[in-house]
A and B are shown apart, each in its own frame.
Chain A
Amino acid sequence: METLTDKNIKELQVKANDIRKSILEMLYLAGSGHTAGSLGMTDIFTYLYFNAIKHRPKDPFWIERDRLVLSNGHICPVLYATMAHAGYFDKSELKTLRKFGSRLQGHPHREFLPMLETSSGPLGEGLSQSVGMAIISKMDNGIDKKIYCLAGDGELNEGQNWEAIMLAAKHKLNNLILIVDRNFIQINGSTEIVMPLGDLLSKFKSFEWNGEQIDGNDFVQINRAIYNAKNEKDKPYVIIAKTIPCKGIKEWEGNYKWHGKTPNKEEYEMAMKELEALDENIK
């Protein structure tokens, strides 16, 4: 396993903080959208785009690229912001989120932004598409591609996921990596009250997957889990990533009310100051 040095970790933290600032600004300017999950998943997106996936931002249709499918499309601010920071398009475009004519639709739409692997928003469908990609990647026997699927925990309420989970195990898709954002919130409140998911990792293991549970805001743990997932020999791999909703903004952290809410001017300025202060702490 390639260990992250302290320098690597600091660089990733700085990058993630920059991306969080972009997300905050986008959501403030858009006036609607999903704040909690976007900020909670920023560390994982940063790690994937800057340290894990095989891709060429200037050649987004490069045939040998890994595929990254965002199933819970409502956290697309983190997808768009990370893609912009990685060089897929200019960061200034982020300000168009959710505006008429923007390529950055409120939920990802591949016909507007063809460099996306798929459109998403309606929950529970990304894993199935990822399984389709992973089956074909094996069928075609070509370059070893990894298919990364990112899904929410509340999203696992949708039965279609479990159909896909069974199919992935049947085909022993060790090229498939599912990262579940285990932030314990959904619109109506705690996931464990709305529809208890319980011990998710055991559920996956009983469906013949391999996997582990990590702190999804800790780069050392993310690094180790992705290494393990990439080196899995004969099963699909799930990473249950416990994340803190609204990570980075102390006052908002963990509050499910930020699921589908955006900051007003005052909140935006307060949060931005906090993220700027964080930059100093990292250094």
Chain B
Amino acid sequence: MLNQNIKLNTKVFNSDVEKKSTRLGFGEGLLQAGIENDNVVALCSDLKDPTKLNLFADKFPNRYIEMGIAEQNMASVASGMASMGKIPFIASFAIFNPGRNWEQIRTTICYNNQPVKIVSSHSGTAVGPDGGSHQCLEDLALTRVLPNMVVISPCDAIEARKATIAMSKTKNPTYLRCTRNDTPLITTNETPFEIGKAQIVFKPENGLSQVGIIATGPVLYDALIAAKKLGDSSIKVKVMNISTIKPLDKEAIISLAKETKNIITIEDHQITGGMGSTVAECLSEFYPTKIIFMGINDSFGQSGEPNELARHYKIDTESIVDTVIKNIK
């Protein structure tokens, strides 16, 4: 059952569940952050509408800076702006930001510890038809290795909006990972959000769980559907949303491992270095637990509809169900 202690969307299991992209949630959050704080500025590298920076740009044209197609310059210019007291948001596709400009992010943003907010609007295989060149599957790995960096991967548009507003109020360099396509709303305006806190979103009606599924990003929805199906077959599953990859909510993860002794991680990202890896780093040190890693297994993406790609790379509902069944005693 849904964990209604955190007031999730009661219609999440309906076939007509409302859908909205996390990038749009970011755009709305940035507009709100801009209203609340005059120091918020936005930098764009020729992708105003796709990144949803247009919402901010229309309202605050004087605080919106068009960089041209130059993500490396964008990252370092933002660092200079932050040193003058601003909270700059830089947005593009993940492959360019933090992909193309990674060293600029490391040296001019993280090494200087400047509060620049790095946002990708297009990440993962969910980018779809554009193909593998544009499907960044390495961004969580690239950002979570950087000292001072906070890394957030929201599960839906509402959480993306809240994360954007929350990160506009912190002093850390922060990466926000969004996706292009419309995905189901899992949370509501009333669901609590705090950077660094994981949440149980699904649990059995009674008793302990046999498996803990940990998901990040919109694939959380697939994990939820899988958990419900498994519940219908009397397999007890808990589902955790890890929207903050760094700093990791170790306590919550250890607690889930202690209960289930059986963890499955799922993400639309390379298995190597991603969310599953950070869970493994935590559990191998504090509570060694068997983990099955679901994600992209050392390959690039390709063209296709997001659901076709999820099926192909085995990060869809059916694959989760199969994996759980195969791995319970």
Q: Which of B76, B88, B112 contacts A128 (CB 8 A)?
A: B76
Contact with A along B64-97 (1 / 0, CB 8 A): 0101101011011111111111101000000000
Complex contacts, A131 vs chain B, CB 8 Å: 73, 77, 80
B76 touches A125 (CB 8 A): yes
From B80, B83, B107, give the contact of A121 (CB < 8 A).
B107
Question: Which of A120, A137, A139, A163 has most chain B Cβ within 10 Å?
Answer: A163
Flag whether A48 is at the interface (Cβ < 8 A).
Answer: no
B113 within 8 A of A: yes
Q: Which residue of B lies closest to A109 (CB)?
A: B111
Q: Which one of A81-89, A111-119, A179-187 is at the interface?
A: A111-119
- Is the pair A125, B68 in contact by a Cβ cutoff of 8 Å? no
Contact A160 B80 (CB under 8 A): no
Q: Is B83 a contact of A133 with CB atoms below 8 Å? A: yes
**Number of chain B residues close to chain A: CB under 8 A:** 29
Tell me whether B244 is interfacial, beta carbon within 8 Å.
Answer: no
A172 at the interface (CB under 8 A from B): no
B62 located at the interface, meaning its Cβ lies under 8 Å from any Cβ of chain A in the complex: yes
B73 partner, pick from A69, A119, A139, A163, beta carbons under 8 A: A163
Are A135 and B77 neighbours in the complex by a CB distance under 8 Å? yes
A151 at interface by CB-CB < 8 Å:
no
What does the 1/0 interface line of A151-166 toward B look like (CB < 8 Å)? Answer: 0000000011001101
Closest A residue by C-beta to B108: A125
Q: Is A163's CB under 8 angstroms from B83's CB?
A: no
Known A166-B68, A167-B73; judge A128-B80 contact (CB<8 A).
yes
Given contacts A137-B84, A139-B63, contact A111 B73 (CB under 8 A): no
User: Which residues of A (82-129) have their CB < 8 Å from a CB of B?
Assistant: 109-111, 117-122, 125, 128-129
Chain B residues, CB < 8 A from A128 = 72-73, 75-77, 79-80, 104, 108
- Which residues from A are CB-within-8-Å of B322? none
Assign chain A's interface to a size class: 20 to 34
Q: Are A167 and B68 in contact, with the CB atoms below 8 A?
A: yes
If A133-B83, A136-B84, A160-B72 touch, whether A122 touches B107 (CB-CB below 8 Å) is: yes
With A137-B84, A163-B72: A118-B108 Cβ-Cβ less than 8 Å: yes
Kindly report which residue of chain B lies nearest to residue A118, judged by CB atoms: B112
Q: Is the CB of B112 within 8 A of A133?
A: no
Provide the residues of chain A in CB contact with B78, threshold 8 Å. Answer: 132
For chain B, residues 47 to 73, give those with C-beta under 8 angstroms from any C-beta of chain A: 62-63, 65, 67-68, 70, 72-73
Q: Contact check, A139 vs B62: say whether CB atoms are below 8 A apart.
A: yes
A139 to B84, CA, bound (A): 11
On whether the beta carbons of B84 and A160 are closer than 8 Å, the reply is no
Are the CB atoms of A136 and B73 closer together than 8 Å?
no
Interface: A46 (CB within 8 A): no
Complex: how many Å from CA A254 to CA B87? 44
Whether A136 contacts B112 in the complex (CB less than 8 A), given A163-B70, A167-B73, comes out as: no
Query: B68: which A residues are within 8 A, CB to CB?
Result: 163, 166-167
Select from chain A the residue with minimum beta-carbon distance to B104: A125
Q: Cβ of B281 < 8 Å from any Cβ of A?
A: no
- In the complex, B36 has a CB within 8 A of chain A: no
In the bound complex, how far is the Cα of B78 from the Cα of A59, in angstroms?
25
- Asked if B107 contacts A125 (CB within 8 A), the reply is yes
Given contacts A118-B112, A136-B86, A160-B72, contact A129 B107 (CB under 8 A): no
CA of A105 to CA of B85, assembled, Å: 25
Within the complex, what minimum Cβ distance (angstroms) separates A123 from chain B?
10
> Residues 134-157 of chain A: 1 if any B CB is under 8 Å from the residue's CB, otherwise 0?
111101100000000000000000
Q: How far is the CB of B70 from chain A (nearest CB, A)?
A: 4
| Residue of B70, B77, B108 with most partner-chain A CB within 10 A | B77
Interchain CB contact (< 8 A) of A129 among B62, B67, B83, B103: B83
Specify which of A120, A133, A163, A167 is in contact with B84 (CB 8 Å cutoff): A133
A210 interface residue per 8 A CB criterion: no
Q: Check A13 for interface membership: any CB of B closer than 8 A.
A: no
Given A139-B63, A164-B73, A132:B111 Cβ within 8 A: no
Q: Does A262 contact B (CB under 8 A)?
A: no
Given contacts A109-B111, A111-B113, A118-B112, contact A132 B77 (CB under 8 A): yes
Closest 6 CB pairs of A and B: A132-B80, A128-B76, A129-B80, A163-B73, A132-B77, A163-B70
22 contacts between A and B (CB under 8 A): A67-B83, A69-B80, A110-B112, A110-B113, A118-B112, A119-B111, A119-B112, A125-B76, A128-B72, A128-B77, A129-B83, A131-B80, A132-B78, A135-B77, A135-B81, A136-B41, A136-B86, A137-B84, A139-B41, A140-B84, A167-B67, A167-B70
With A132-B82, A132-B88, A166-B68 given, name 11 new contacts (CB 8 A). Answer: A69-B80, A110-B111, A111-B111, A118-B112, A119-B112, A121-B107, A132-B84, A133-B83, A140-B84, A163-B72, A167-B77
| A positions within 8 Å CB-CB of B | 67, 69, 109-111, 117-122, 125, 128-137, 139-140, 159-160, 163-164, 166-167
